[in-house]
């Protein structure tokens, strides 16, 4: 009979749902002491990073040095890897590359291992400022990998005048209308409007957010697209004149077309940090620490700056950077002091949903 | 009506007819139905059941889901913002379905009129693009529609336009994407339905004095309505929840049910609300299918 069959199916589904939802049980062992003499060739690492964000030789050289097999998984956005880690309680990964505000989230969720500085002596290579980043003061659960700011990347041969303000994106000159892209992910979609209106990039005030939403909605008409991944190629092809971009990404455009330039608008911008975190559930903690230490060596971290074209918070590495590279890619020369003048991106906690709702509101307008 | 005489439970009296005894029959049934049923249960019923259950639970921090049971997610769907999003999705899916029908019907009709030898070739031509990865086909359209794409370059070199025309990053491009992606799913059921049509009926109508147009409207159309409705379902359903095409061809400038659900799951870690959206899409689809079965009952007996 239909009714009893439906009830049976609903019953199975409900029990299954309860089972999955209740699957919170096993916490990893609390702080097992790390063995500095552990045999790393017996350990393996699963690392998740953005595509093309690790220099080609970084991981193979690590495997060669320590004998640890490494598997590199890719994620496209912070939200993607954070989602996976939250759902699997960190299982399946040893090291993850996430932006600072997301490392905060993972730490609050109790998924990150407390780092043992004794196993990461290369921490001394970092700029002192990098040790005091607000998302993780004293670097207890994250180690910065790259940092930078967000600004406007533009074709100086296509724009009527070089942009100086976020309003060049939000209320564009007629020549630029329809040739502008903005970043699509929550925090960076809101950033230009937040700064243009003089608000904090970490604001959770409803009044302020309402104004931000309004400004973004009116700005949408002038946009070509919301684009997180192909905006520099749109600049190179001339489809776009101005794009909101992370400074490192802009360098990819600059390397293909020297008419492309990067500017941080007058109203200011953010300081974002991409960090390496170790999952508490990892069974290869020593290898994970060794990997982080490996990355922080001057040569390796410098190769990140040279090949990935992002700034690294490693004084020893940046001091040895080829001046010609800085000349070609000026934003590589931004000093820590200049970067720290920008506002650091922090986790907004439970108010993340406010940001998501604004994005939905703006995109559906 | 008198009941037939009661038969013995075992069919031994029918020895010569090759009837199998009941217990073995049951085992046979399980073996044959088992895999399909197991697959449906595991990959269909359980996930859908989870979605239905999650829609009524509460989102906790960090993507966790738990009690209390609540209607808040469903109520949130009635807010103007999400009503707009739902309307946009339905509108785009409906337009895509109509266009697919207008293109698919003549195509299916032409297919059925081909000589038998060419019919297979024709069907293969319809189906082969479908074998290519969905994403690759969508990216191919970007290559065509871009400001620097082939179409704009062609129009520019022919002198028809001065500066590139905006061919994507708006809603028409999304509709185009839907139509292209799901057109084979429209053509094939239509073709099956048209092919089953008895040509003598059409001829008979002609003999009775019907014009070609009248023959089409009163004989062909109603008898192929079933195929049209099936094809329409096959286009409408995937278009409703699609989030890839609005992002790639629409430039991320249009919010649809699919993109909002994806954002809820992936960005906001709000599985209950994302499930509520998914549940709504399901309800709409079931509603359309009920409508379709009503139509079948109405027109079915004419075949």
Tens of pLDDT, residues B96-142: 999 999 999 999 999 988 998 899 999 999 999 888 898 999 999 99
CATH assignment at residue B235? 1.10.3720.10
The CA-atom distances, in angstroms, between B257 and each of A220, A363, B88, B251 are: 19, 12, 8, 16
Q: B70 in a domain, yes or no? A: no
Question: Are A355 and A182 a contacting pair, CB within 8 Å?
Answer: no
The answer to whether residue A87 neighbours chain B at the CB level (below 8 Å) is yes
For position B5, what pLDDT does the model report? Answer: 55
In the DSSP assignment, the letter for residue A73 is E
Low-confidence ranges of chain A (pLDDT < 70): 1-32
In the DSSP assignment, the letter for residue A264 is -
In this predicted model, what pLDDT tens digit does every residue of B51-70 receive, in sequence order?
Answer: 999 999 998 887 788 889 99
The answer to whether residue B125 neighbours chain A at the CB level (below 8 Å) is no
Residues of B in contact with A112 (CB under 8 A): none
| Residue A256 host element (H or E) | helix A247-256
Rounded to whole angstroms, the Cα distance separating A291 from B295 reads 64
Q: Which residue range(s) make up the domain with B176?
A: 84-302
Q: Is this complex's ipTM strictly greater than 0.85?
A: no
The CA-atom distances, in angstroms, between B91 and each of A220, B94, B259 are: 21, 5, 15
Domain boundaries, chain A: 39-147+272-342, 148-270+346-363
The answer to whether residue A84 neighbours chain B at the CB level (below 8 Å) is no
Q: B294 in a domain, yes or no? A: yes
Which range, of A36-50, A189-203, B212-226, B250-264, averages the lowest pLDDT? B212-226
Which range, of A242-246, A341-345, B215-219, B255-259, averages the lowest pLDDT? B215-219
For position B303, what pLDDT does the model report? Answer: 45
Q: How many CB pairs under 8 A join A and B?
A: 108
For position A67, what pLDDT does the model report? Answer: 93
The residues in A 197-216 lying below 8 A from B, measured between CB atoms, are none
Q: B135 in a domain, yes or no? A: yes
> In sequence order, what E strands does chain A have?
44-49, 69-74, 95-99, 142-155, 180-182, 223-226, 242-246, 260-263, 270-278, 343-344
Q: Which residue has the tokens 């880690």?
A: A85
Cβ distance A12 to B49 less than 8 Å, yes or no, reads yes
Q: What is the mean pLDDT of residues B268-274?
A: 90
Question: A39-147+272-342 and A148-270+346-363 share one CATH topology?
Answer: yes
The residues in A 307-346 lying below 8 A from B, measured between CB atoms, are none
CATH architecture of A148-270+346-363: 3-Layer(aba) Sandwich (3.40)
Q: B50 in a domain, yes or no? A: no
Rounded to whole angstroms, the Cα distance separating B290 from B93 reads 18
User: Taking CA atoms, what residue in B is nearest to A76?
Assistant: B266
Query: Best of B171, B269, B275 to disrupt the A interface by mutation (most A CBs within 10 Å)?
Result: B269
CATH 3.40.50.300 fits A39-147+272-342, yes or no: no
For position A24, what pLDDT does the model report? Answer: 45
pLDDT over 60 at B178, yes or no = yes
Structural domains in chain B (count) = 1
């Amino acid at each position: 009979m239909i009714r009893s069959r439906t009830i049976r199916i609903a019953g199975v589904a409900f029990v299954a749902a309860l089972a999955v939802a209740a699957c919170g049980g096993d916490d990893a062992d609390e702080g097992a002491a790390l063995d500095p003499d552990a045999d790393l060739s017996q350990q393996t690492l699963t690392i998740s990073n953005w595509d093309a964000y690790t220099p080609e030789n970084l991981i193979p050289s690590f495997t060669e040095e320590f004998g640890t097999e490494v598997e590199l998984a890719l994620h496209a956005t912070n939200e993607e890897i954070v989602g996976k880690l939250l759902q699997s309680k960190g299982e399946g990964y040893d090291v993850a590359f996430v932006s600072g505000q997301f490392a905060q989230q993972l730490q609050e969720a109790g998924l990150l291992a407390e780092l043992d500085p004794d196993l990461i002596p290369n921490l001394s290579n970092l700029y002192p400022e990098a040790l005091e980043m607000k998302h993780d003061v004293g670097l207890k659960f994250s180690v910065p990998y790259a940092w930078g700011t967000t600004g406007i990347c533009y074709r100086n041969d296509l724009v009527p005048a070089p942009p100086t303000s976020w309003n060049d994106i939000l209320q564009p000159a007629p020549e630029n209308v329809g040739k502008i892209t903005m970043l699509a992910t929550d925090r960076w979609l809101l950033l230009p409007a937040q700064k243009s209106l003089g608000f904090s990039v970490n604001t959770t005030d409803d009044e302020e957010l309402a104004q931000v939403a309004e400004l973004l909605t009116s700005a949408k008409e002038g946009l070509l697209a919301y684009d997180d991944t192909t905006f520099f190629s749109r600049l190179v092809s001339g489809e776009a004149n101005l794009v909101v971009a992370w400074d490192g990404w802009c360098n990819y455009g600059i390397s293909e077309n020297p008419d492309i330039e990067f500017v941080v608008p007058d109203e200011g911008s953010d300081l974002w940090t991409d960090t390496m975190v170790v999952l508490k559930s990892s069974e290869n903690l020593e290898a994970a620490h060794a990997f982080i230490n490996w990355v922080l060596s001057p040569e390796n971290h410098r190769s990140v700056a040279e090949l990935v074209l992002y700034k690294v918070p490693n004084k020893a590495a940046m001091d040895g950077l080829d001046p010609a590279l800085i000349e070609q890619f000026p934003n590589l020369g931004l000093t820590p002091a200049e970067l720290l003048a920008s506002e650091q991106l922090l986790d907004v906690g439970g108010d993340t949903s406010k940001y998501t709702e604004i994005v939905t509101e703006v995109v559906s307008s | 009506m008198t009941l037939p005489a009661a038969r013995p439970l075992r069919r031994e009296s029918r020895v010569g007819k090759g009837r199998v005894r009941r217990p073995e029959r049951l085992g046979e049934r399980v073996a044959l139905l088992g895999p399909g049923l197991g697959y449906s249960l595991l990959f269909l019923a359980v996930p859908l059941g989870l979605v239905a259950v999650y829609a009524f639970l509460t989102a906790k921090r960090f993507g966790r889901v738990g009690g209390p049971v609540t209607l808040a997610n469903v109520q949130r769907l009635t807010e103007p913002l999400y009503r707009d999003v739902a309307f946009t999705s339905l509108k785009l899916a409906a337009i895509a379905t109509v266009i697919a029908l207008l293109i698919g019907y003549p195509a299916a009709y032409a297919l059925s009129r081909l000589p038998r030898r060419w019919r297979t070739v024709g069907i293969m031509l319809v189906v082969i693009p479908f074998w290519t990865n969905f994403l690759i086909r969508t990216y191919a359209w970007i290559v065509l529609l871009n400001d620097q794409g082939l179409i704009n370059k062609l129009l520019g070199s022919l002198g028809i336009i001065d500066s590139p025309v905006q061919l994507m990053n708006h809603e028409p491009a999304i509709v185009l994407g839907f139509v292209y992606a799901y057109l084979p799913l429209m053509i094939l059921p239509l073709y099956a339905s048209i092919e089953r049509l008895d040509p003598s009926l059409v001829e008979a109508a002609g003999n009775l004095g019907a014009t070609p147009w009248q023959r089409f409207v009163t004989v062909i159309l109603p008898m192929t309505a079933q195929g049209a409705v099936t094809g329409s379902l096959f286009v409408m359903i995937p278009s409703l929840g699609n989030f890839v095409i609005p992002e790639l061809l629409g430039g991320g400038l249009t919010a649809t049910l699919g993109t909002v659900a994806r954002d809820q799951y992936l960005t906001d870690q709000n599985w209950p609300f994302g499930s509520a959206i998914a549940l709504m899409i399901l309800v709409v689809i079931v509603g359309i299918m009920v409508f379709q079965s009503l139509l079948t009952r109405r027109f079915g007996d004419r075949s």
